[in-house]
């Protein structure tokens, strides 16, 4: 038996500072990477998602080789079979891995006797989150976010929040601009031999993929991810805040950072991202740059607040959370989402075109276009989670479960959100330019040209009236529903809308 341990690097742990590898050098360990063909075949992945993960893994493995590490990079049916083959070939008696990002991954590593080190790719370990949440009868993301700001000393001046307030969200809800302005551009990275090899392997694999071919917009190395971070801080951060909730049919990202895939793979650490943003804050608020406080605070809240909160509740509520379906929603993912049918709904068509082209849509398109329609039409939360997991370059179970099951589909009974994020077409009309050219009228709830969102919103309230009757935050909406003189006609139209939606004829 050899005394030289193997450090197993998983596909979303792609940095030299992971806790399992940080204290080692090329003389003290061997490094293992495993590509799982079963994992690749398990879902209908967006081709940019599949390329991104595999290319980033292979690039990091090559970086470690260049640094002198002995790297065993192998493809196997499953991660477990790849590990067993490695252990047998190299006569290994000690395998170390940083805690994985999923509950199933952790169980697999424990079954195979792999030693685990604490996951250090977040600013708050899930054990620390559980301790924070333990003595609270209820807890909110806002409370967690303020705790994070204080403990990490980000945007704090003499123990108080920069600008005199914790939250500047009121300044970040502007409607989409109509002046035809240009939005921050991003570097498109040229494919190298590794990228081309990955694309060739994907083309030859017997798997189902969808979406536009990778075009170099997603960083596959830390060097590329740092370029993307620099670009956002310099050009995207300032305009980000006011229009972070806006949607435009011809603009896939507006001023959003598009850094989530890099953080989720480990190419960037959330703390360095948040600290760079805080440093860019205007000097009047404690920074050394000129970025407005509403933009910086809104972005920092996404990174160390919401993202870390989702990570914490995933581990706090698993594994039962995965199967939550509190509204008994049973419908499949609409074919208009999967690309199997076209739709006359301009907002859905536009959002899906963004996903098809980039494997990405920003958070409001995810929540208020896709999630909203899935919620009000009754899409099964597990089916929706799996589709979004496979369709976005930043997808992962820990990301999608709380965001889809909790926030978007309210399938957890209100653990994530005290009321469902359901709305009619008025919200989309206010926050986007989609409705101006749409076949449906957001102001109408009955008739052939009625907006499906508006029709389904009122039907959703009627279908779930008993469920929400005791929710004080739903009182006004339910009262409005009861006052509708044409509610019966709305509900009859909703039957037609749902039938057309799930048959691909809407």
> For the chain, first and last CA: distance in Å?
64
How many angstroms separate the CA atoms of 269 and 24, rounded? 20
415, 317 contact by CB (below 8 A): yes
Characterise 504 by phi-psi region: left (phi > 0), alpha (psi -120 to 50), beta (else).
left
Kindly report, residue by residue over 163-215, the tens digit of the pLDDT: 999 999 988 889 999 888 899 999 999 999 999 999 999 999 989 999 999 99
| Higher per-residue pLDDT: 180 or 401 | 401
The pTM of the full predicted model, rounded to 2 decimals, is: 0.94
Domain annotation for the chain: domains and CATH numbers: 6-117 (3.40.50.620), 126-317 (1.25.40.80), 323-503 (1.10.579.10)
How many angstroms separate the CA atoms of 327 and 375, rounded? 9
Residue 286 pLDDT: 80
How many angstroms separate the CA atoms of 230 and 275, rounded? 12
How many angstroms separate the CA atoms of 464 and 441, rounded? 25
Please give the structure tokens belonging to residue 504. 């691909």
Query: In this structure, are strands 115-117 and 156-157 parallel, antiparallel, or unpaired?
Result: unpaired
Strands (E), 143-254: 156-157, 160-161, 209-210
Average pLDDT over residues 262-280: 97
Residue 1 pLDDT: 42
Kindly report, residue by residue over 73-115, the tens digit of the pLDDT: 999 999 999 999 999 999 999 999 999 999 999 999 999 999 9
H or E segment to which residue 376 belongs: helix 372-377
Helix H, strand E, coil C: the string for 144-175 is: HHHHHHHHHCCCEECCEEHHHCCCCHHHCCCC
Please give the structure tokens belonging to residue 363. 């958070």
Which residues make Cβ contacts (< 8 Å) with residue 301, sequence separation at least 6?
Answer: 145, 167
Degrees to nearest 5, angle at CA 433 with 431 and 438: 120
Kindly report, residue by residue over 410-460, the tens digit of the pLDDT: 999 999 988 999 999 999 999 999 999 899 999 999 999 999 999 999 999
Average pLDDT over residues 32-44: 96
How many angstroms separate the CA atoms of 338 and 85, rounded? 37
Q: Above 60 in pLDDT, residue 128?
A: yes
Under DSSP, the state recorded for 234 is I
Average pLDDT over residues 330-359: 96
Q: Above 60 in pLDDT, residue 2?
A: no
């Amino acid at each position: 038996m050899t005394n030289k341990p193997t450090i197993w690097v998983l596909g979303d742990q792609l940095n030299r500072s992971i806790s399992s590898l940080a204290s080692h050098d090329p003389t003290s360990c061997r490094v293992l990477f495993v590509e799982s063909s079963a994992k690749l075949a398990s879902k209908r992945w967006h081709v940019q998602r599949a390329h991104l993960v595999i290319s980033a893994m292979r690039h990091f493995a090559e970086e470690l080789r260049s640094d002198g590490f002995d790297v065993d990079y192998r493809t196997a049916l499953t991660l477990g079979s790849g590990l067993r083959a490695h252990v047998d070939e190299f006569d290994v008696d000690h395998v170390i891995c940083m805690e994985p990002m999923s509950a199933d991954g952790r169980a697999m590593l424990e079954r195979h006797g792999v030693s685990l080190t604490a996951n250090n790719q977040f600013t708050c370990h899930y054990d620390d989150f559980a301790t924070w949440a333990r003595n609270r009868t209820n807890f909110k993301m806002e409370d967690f976010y303020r705790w994070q700001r204080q403990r990490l000393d980000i945007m704090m001046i003499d123990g108080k929040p920069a600008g005199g307030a914790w939250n500047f969200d009121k300044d970040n809800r502007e409607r989409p601009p109509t002046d035809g302005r240009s939005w921050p551009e991003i570097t498109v990275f040229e494919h190298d031999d590794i990228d081309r090899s990955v694309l060739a392997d994907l083309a030859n694999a017997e798997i189902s993929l969808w979406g536009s071919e990778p075009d170099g917009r997603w960083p596959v190395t830390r060097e590329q991810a740092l370029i993307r971070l620099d670009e956002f801080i310099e050009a995207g951060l300032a305009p980000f805040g006011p229009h972070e909730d806006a949607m435009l049919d011809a603009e896939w990202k507006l001023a959003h950072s598009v850094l989530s895939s890099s953080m989720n793979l480990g190419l960037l650490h959330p703390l360095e991202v948040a600290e760079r943003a805080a440093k860019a804050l205007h000097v009047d608020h404690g920074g050394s740059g000129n970025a407005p406080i509403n933009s910086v605070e809104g972005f920092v809240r996404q990174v160390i607040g919401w993202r870390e909160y989702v990570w914490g509740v995933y581990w706090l509520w698993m594994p039962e959370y995965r199967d939550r379906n509190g509204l008994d929603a049973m419908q499949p993912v609409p074919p208009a989402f999967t690309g199997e049918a076209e739709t006359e709904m301009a907002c859905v068509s536009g959002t899906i075109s963004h996903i098809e082209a980039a494997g990405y849509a920003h958070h409001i398109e995810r929540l208020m276009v896709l999630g909203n329609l899935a919620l009000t039409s009754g899409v099964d939360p597990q089916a929706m989670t799996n589709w979004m997991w496979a369709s976005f370059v930043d997808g992962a179970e820990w990301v999608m479960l709380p965001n889809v099951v909790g926030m978007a589909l309210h399938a957890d009974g209100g653990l994530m959100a005290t009321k469902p994020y359901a709305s009619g077409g008025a919200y989309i009309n206010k926050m986007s330019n989609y409705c101006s050219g749409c076949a449906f009228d957001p102001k109408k709830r009955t008739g052939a040209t009625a907006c499906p969102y508006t029709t389904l919103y009122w039907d959703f309230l009627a279908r779930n009236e008993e469920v929400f009757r005791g929710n004080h935050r739903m009182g006004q909406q339910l009262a409005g529903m009861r006052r509708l003189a044409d509610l019966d006609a709305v509900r009859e139209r909703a039957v037609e809308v749902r039938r057309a939606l799930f048959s691909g004829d809407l």
